[in-house]
């Protein structure tokens, strides 16, 4: 549904590199996630695919159309939700939705079934101006506007940034339902916990793709054992673990430390922590998350 071949893009006359050698393809009816920190090049890729930017090198297609030659055909059939809230702040919810429905050559009634689940949540405020909505409601409205013309491919650039945890969860459930209707979704996010909700993810950093896999495979491919260490004084524990000569990597992760060792057998670590004066420390083997994999990939 979407393919990218050796896409390269620079800004400021080639002095600032945005993305290099990007190759991947998204299958029909798939939720494909672009996962990476701010400034990794996610938005650049979205803009190239939505025909808003021209790549310096490489080719890309969406729904079989070339992003340069057939830009008009792509614009007819995709839905795009930019990272920044991009609706008319001085129009109401209903006016915004009506406007975009008409611009896309359809009506709210015609495709109401697509947006119903989302729209009912914001419908009580339909006469409120978009500029006065909360972050979550804005995102829901933006999604409604991007969906109203029943796109074949949906591009969502960081749709959940700035949205509360509950709304984020709802948002992803909606994406699942859209997928069930056969819509292909390319979504980007800086939240690693959302990665496992995608069918496949591409980890992207500094304009390069580190890995493309299903979340399960990425997790499975974690090459060593991962341990969680809890207890004691958190900051001193982190410092001492990093100083431990058997430690390969050590990161704070919520209330625990995620640690890998140079050697998976590490009988001496508890003794070591004891000697450093930590009391009640527990250590256990855990399944790595996507974030663990991402951090490990970045280290390489």
Partner 1 sequence: MKQLLVFIRKEFLQVFRDRKTLLMLFGLPIAQIVLFGFALSTEIKDSKIVVVDYAKDETSTQIITKIAGSRYFDVQQSLQSTAQLEAAFKKGIIKMAVVFPANFSKDLLHTNHATIQIIADASDPNTATTITNYITNIINTYNVQLANAAGQPLQIVPEVQMLYNPELKGAPNFVPGVMALVLMLVCTMMTSVTIVKEKELGTMEILLVSPFKPIYIIFSKLVPNLIISIVNLFIILILSSVFLDLQVKGSLLLLVFATTLFIVTSLSVGLLLSIGAKTQQAAMTSSLMGMMLPTMLLTGFLFPIENMPWLLQVLANLVPSRWFFIIVKRVMLEGLGFAAVWKEILILVAMCAFLLTISLRSFKIRLQ
Contact residues toward partner 1 (CB under 8 A) are 47, 50-54, 71, 75-76, 78, 80, 82, 84-91, 95, 98-100, 102-105, 145-146
Q: Which two tokens stand for residue 104?
A: 């896309």
CB of 247 to partner 1, least distance (A): 45
CB of 177 to partner 1, least distance (A): 22
CB of 21 to partner 1, least distance (A): 21
Length of the chain: 300
Query: Helix, strand, coil: what percent of the chain each, to 5?
Result: 35, 30, 35
What DSSP line would sit under 239-294, residue for residue?
HHHHH-TTEEEEEEETTEEEEEESSS--THHHHHHHHTT--S-EEEEEPPPHHHHH
Q: Which residues lie across from 156 on neighbouring strands?
A: 81, 187
Q: Which is nearer to partner 1, 78 or 122 (CB)?
A: 78
Q: Which is nearer to partner 1, 84 or 299 (CB)?
A: 84
Q: Which is nearer to partner 1, 31 or 145 (CB)?
A: 145
CB of 77 to partner 1, least distance (A): 8
Q: Which is nearer to partner 1, 148 or 195 (CB)?
A: 148
**Cβ partners under 8 Å of residue 96, min gap 6:** 87, 88, 130, 141, 145
Q: Which is nearer to partner 1, 106 or 211 (CB)?
A: 106
CB of 103 to partner 1, least distance (A): 5
User: What's the CA gap between 292 and 90, in Å, rounded?
Assistant: 43
Q: Quick one: how far is CA 85 from the chain centroid?
A: 16
Please list the alpha-helical segments (H only) found in the chain: 42-49, 71-77, 93-103, 112-122, 135-147, 165-180, 215-220, 234-243, 268-275, 290-299
CB of 117 to partner 1, least distance (A): 22
Q: Which is nearer to partner 1, 78 or 186 (CB)?
A: 78
């Amino acid at each position: 549904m979407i393919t990218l071949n050796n896409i390269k893009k620079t800004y400021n006359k080639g002095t600032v590199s945005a993305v290099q050698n990007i190759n991947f393809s998204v299958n029909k009816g798939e939720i494909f996630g672009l996962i990476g920190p701010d400034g990794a090049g996610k938005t650049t890729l979205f803009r190239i695919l939505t025909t808003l930017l021209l790549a310096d090198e490489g080719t890309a297609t969406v729904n079989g159309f070339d992003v340069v030659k057939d830009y008009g055909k792509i614009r007819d059939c995709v839905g795009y939700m930019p990272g920044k809230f991009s609706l008319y702040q001085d129009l109401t919810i209903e006016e915004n939705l009506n406007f975009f429905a008409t611009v896309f050559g359809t009506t709210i009634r015609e495709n109401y079934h697509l947006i119903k689940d989302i729209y009912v949540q914001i419908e009580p405020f339909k006469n409120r101006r978009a500029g006065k909505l909360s972050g979550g409601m804005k995102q829901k409205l933006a999604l409604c506007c991007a969906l109203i013309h029943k796109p074949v491919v949906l591009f969502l650039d960081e749709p959940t940034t700035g949205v509360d945890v509950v709304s984020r969860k709802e948002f992803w459930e909606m994406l699942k339902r859209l997928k069930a209707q056969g819509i292909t979704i390319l979504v980007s996010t800086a939240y690693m916990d959302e990665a496992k909700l995608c069918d496949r993810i591409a980890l992207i950093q500094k304009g390069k793709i580190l890995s493309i896999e299903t979340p399960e495979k990425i997790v499975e491919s974690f090459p060593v054992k991962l341990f969680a260490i809890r207890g004691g004084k958190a900051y001193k524990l982190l410092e001492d673990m990093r100083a431990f000569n058997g430690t390969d990597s050590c990161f704070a992760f919520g209330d625990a430390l995620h640690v890998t060792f140079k050697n998976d057998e590490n009988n001496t670590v508890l003794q070591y922590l004891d000697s450093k004066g930590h009391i009640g420390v527990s250590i256990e083997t855990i399944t790595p998350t996507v974030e663990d994999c991402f951090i490990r990939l970045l280290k390489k």
